[in-house]
Structure 1
Amino acid sequence: MNDTFSEDKAPPALSVVIVAYNSGATLGRCVAALAAQTYADFELLIVDNASPQREAGPAAQALPGARVIEAGDNLGFAGGVNLGARAARGRWLVLLNPDAYPDPDWLEQLVTASRRHPKVASFTSRQVMAQDRSVLDGLGDVMSAPAIPYRGGYLSPDPGDSPEGEVFSPCGAAMMVDRALFLRLGGLDEDFFCYCEDVDFGYRLQLVGEPTLLVPAAVVAHEGSASSGGPKSEFAVFHGTRNRFWVLVKNTPLLLLPVILPLHLLAFAVVSLRPQNRPLLEVTWRGFKAALAGLGPIWTSRRRTQAQRRASALQIARSMTWDPKDLSGRRAVIRPLRPSRRGAP
């Protein structure tokens, strides 16, 4: 860790955690954007996931007091975030990808939203494409009826400051969550390693009755998959295929499984056999086989997850989208904010 940190300092309001791995091309710009924030009551923790580029230390120097946490190995995004969350001291945990560049008022907008909605524990950002800010990278995450999650509005024109509203789950690229709640729910599932771990966490929020609020005024420009070779890389396809199935098995209420599981398998087959996806059919099938092979630990996680559930199967079904056009068009699904089951802090 950096020597500038002192336990005697008062805890900050926010703890921003960035997981660094092969992110030398983007991390410096990301930290510079944090250094320019209008809201200053935060600490920065950069988790070095044994990156061969060793980019965390030089990048941290751009923000006085930033801490570098050496993971010692590549723990994946999930393990890196959990390591940072345990070392964090803020009331709020803020996750930011190393290839996401927040606008100067990003943290201020998230904090302001938390004050407007004191019973909400989870917030997500409006993400635009770093290459073209007129195009959306996502308005929170959506869960479709076949248990195929996607970023709402991905590659659609950015509508600007649309009204706030509830989405299925926060996107881990730029989110804020009550740290105590995050830790109480077990953090991100480290079995996932990378991809869909944020959707899994968001699903668990749904199961315990905690809504996620989209804050359109909190904006980040996101490159996406910059350290993993892009969304069509073998790494991304393998982990995405495997982890989507695990999200379904782990979180879907029993009453919904007979409906959701066949829809998932059908959608999986249709998407995998599309002409543009056929070159990756072998790695897709390998990811699905890995999902089946790893069901033992996931089923154990399911028992723990379902034991915490407070939302009914009907409530979970209503939080998803059942319109096939939403999935095919990656349309954003933003609903009026429902009351949280959590008491005001």
Structure 2
Amino acid sequence: MQIDTELDTDHPAISSPLVSVVILTYNAIETVQQCLPSVVASTYPNIQILLADNASDDGTCDWVASTYPNIEIIRHSTNLLFCAGNNRAVDHATGDYIVLLNNDVEVEPGWLEPLVARLLNQPEIGAVQPKLLQFQDRTLFEYAGGAGGHLDRFGYPFTRGRLFFEMEKDTGQYDDDVELFWASGAALCIRRSLYLKLGGLDERFEMHMEEIDLCWRLQRLGYSIQSVSASRVFHIGGASLPQGSPRKTYLNYRNNILTLYKNLTPQDWLKIFPARVLLDGIGFLRLLLLFKPREAFAVLRAYGSAHVMKASMKSERPLRTEKSILPHYSRSIVLDYFVRGHRRFSDLPESAFRKSTKSIN
């Protein structure tokens, strides 16, 4: 089926529903000054831009207020971190669709039109993601999202265009729009009604992996997530926590484990958890051998915290009588990458995906 990415400009009230773009920031005035102008220059005719500030003291709000008086500024009294900061900002959004956009993302002028067209034309889709490319080298896919996200059978995330730390060059190889397991929180477009129905991002996560949990819950409601390659954005990355940060390692491991626990049935959780512990144990030893003890022990702390936090999530899990929405990739991406030598998404066997990675258009 060919997807129409054009909007009906003869009936703007119908074909151009209001889109609320939510940009959360914290003490990053230079980044905001660099990227926000591109959002303001968007060609989409019906846009609400909200800048949510996590109690910055660097003058961000004053600069935005004086430079772009039409932007709505939401001033949080404290640093609410990513999940709560975005959720409180969404309370002020009035659009049919919400875009959670990182403050370090630059967009092309026509980035919104293809995203809106996809959601307008296909009501079964709950969320979409543009193509994420690196800000510094715009020929390369970006770490946080690439051309859309997947999970392997043990819950490890990877994207079309990025396996672990191997970023591919964008040659149009993933321009076919496909169903995803998750869309990157760096640039996530979702129906506002569904975001509110799901309760938004899980604030217990604080930051990292929260979009995977949100997209998994969205699929449990019966909606799909898709890539939209006609929309391109450019992500600087590492604005919150840099690679190699023990805090980042801790949050990634903890939240990934909790995402699995929350969204798998008890029996499916028990099937994968022992192997997951083994693989994470190997990862722990690898970090020690690389002389990264703080990151290694962050993995142990993540398991301890996840064990404590699971109690608060028990009632949110699928029932034993339900069928789990399983990750799309039925093999181990860890073994495929480190043992079998698969370095590109296109190296992965199509037969291992529960959902086709070929074009749905």
Specify which of 182, 185, 202 is matched with residue 169 of structure 1.
182
Task: Please state how far the C-alpha of 1:287 moved relative to its aligned partner.
Answer: 4.5
Contact persistence 1:151–1:330 (CA under 8 A):
no
The alpha-carbon distance between structure 1 residues 18 and 318, as it changes in their structure 2 partners (threshold 3 A), is closer
Q: Distance in 2 between matches of 1:48 and 1:130?
A: 23
Contact persistence 1:187–1:201 (CA under 8 A):
yes
The alpha-carbon distance between structure 1 residues 311 and 16, as it changes in their structure 2 partners (threshold 3 A), is farther
Task: Provide the residue aligned with 1:158 in structure 2.
Answer: 170
Q: Distance in 1 between matches of 2:330 and 2:136?
A: 29
Task: Provide the residue aligned with 1:197 in structure 2.
Answer: 210
* Matched position secondary structure for 2:95: coil
Q: Distance in 1 between matches of 2:190 and 2:255?
A: 22
Contact persistence 1:45–1:68 (CA under 8 A):
yes
Q: Deviations over 1:300-343 (max 9, x none)?
A: 32422426x99722xx23624425366654627763688xxxxx
Alignment-mate amino acid for residue 323 of structure 2: S
Report 1:35-74 matches (<5 A).
Answer: 35-59=40-64, 61-74=66-79
The alpha-carbon distance between structure 1 residues 49 and 151, as it changes in their structure 2 partners (threshold 3 A), is farther
Contact persistence 1:241–1:288 (CA under 8 A):
no
Indicate the RMSD between aligned Cα atoms, in angstroms: 2.6
51-60 or 184-193: which moved more?
51-60
Q: Distance in 1 between matches of 2:159 and 2:59?
A: 30
The alpha-carbon distance between structure 1 residues 271 and 111, as it changes in their structure 2 partners (threshold 3 A), is same
Q: Distance in 1 between matches of 2:18 and 2:308?
A: 39
Task: Please state how far the C-alpha of 1:55 moved relative to its aligned partner.
Answer: 1.6
Task: Provide the residue aligned with 1:142 in structure 2.
Answer: 150
Q: How many equivalent pairs are there?
A: 324
Q: Distance in 2 between matches of 1:195 and 1:54?
A: 26
Q: Distance in 2 between matches of 1:246 and 1:185?
A: 17
Task: Provide the residue aligned with 1:335 in structure 2.
Answer: 357
Q: Distance in 1 between matches of 2:337 and 2:91?
A: 35
Task: Provide the residue aligned with 2:91 in structure 1.
Answer: 86
Report 1:186-225 matches (<5 A).
Answer: 186-225=199-238
Q: Distance in 2 between matches of 1:79 and 1:277?
A: 36
Q: Distance in 2 between matches of 1:303 and 1:142?
A: 26
* Matched position secondary structure for 1:136: coil
Task: Please state how far the C-alpha of 1:35 moved relative to its aligned partner.
Answer: 1.2
Specify which of 107, 119, 126 is matched with residue 131 of structure 2.
126
Which stretches of structure 1, 4 residues or more, deviate above 6 A after TM superposition?
none
Task: Provide the residue aligned with 1:7 in structure 2.
Answer: none
Task: Please state how far the C-alpha of 1:157 moved relative to its aligned partner.
Answer: 1.3
Aligned pair 1:259/2:271, yes or no?
Answer: yes
* Matched position secondary structure for 2:318: helix
Q: Distance in 2 between matches of 1:136 and 1:276?
A: 29
Contact persistence 2:245–2:295 (CA under 8 A):
no
Unaligned runs of 5+ in 1: 1-10, 339-345
Contact persistence 1:169–1:198 (CA under 8 A):
yes
Q: Deviations over 1:150-203 (max 9, x none)?
A: 333221111336111111011000010011111111110111111111111112
20-29 or 163-172: which moved more?
20-29
Task: Provide the residue aligned with 2:191 in structure 1.
Answer: 178
Task: Provide the residue aligned with 2:304 in structure 1.
Answer: 292
Contact persistence 1:31–1:60 (CA under 8 A):
no
Task: Provide the residue aligned with 1:231 in structure 2.
Answer: 243
When the two structures are superposed, what TM-score results if normalisation uses the length of structure 1?
0.85
Which protein shows a greater Rg?
Answer: 2
The alpha-carbon distance between structure 1 residues 167 and 224, as it changes in their structure 2 partners (threshold 3 A), is same
* Matched position secondary structure for 1:26: helix
49-58 or 260-269: which moved more?
49-58
Task: Please state how far the C-alpha of 1:89 moved relative to its aligned partner.
Answer: 0.6
Q: Deviations over 1:197-247 (max 9, x none)?
A: 11111121222222101111111111112232x122222122112211211
Task: Provide the residue aligned with 2:11 in structure 1.
Answer: none
Q: Distance in 1 between matches of 2:321 and 2:130?
A: 26
Report 1:236-255 matches (<5 A).
Answer: 236-255=248-267
Task: Provide the residue aligned with 1:15 in structure 2.
Answer: 20
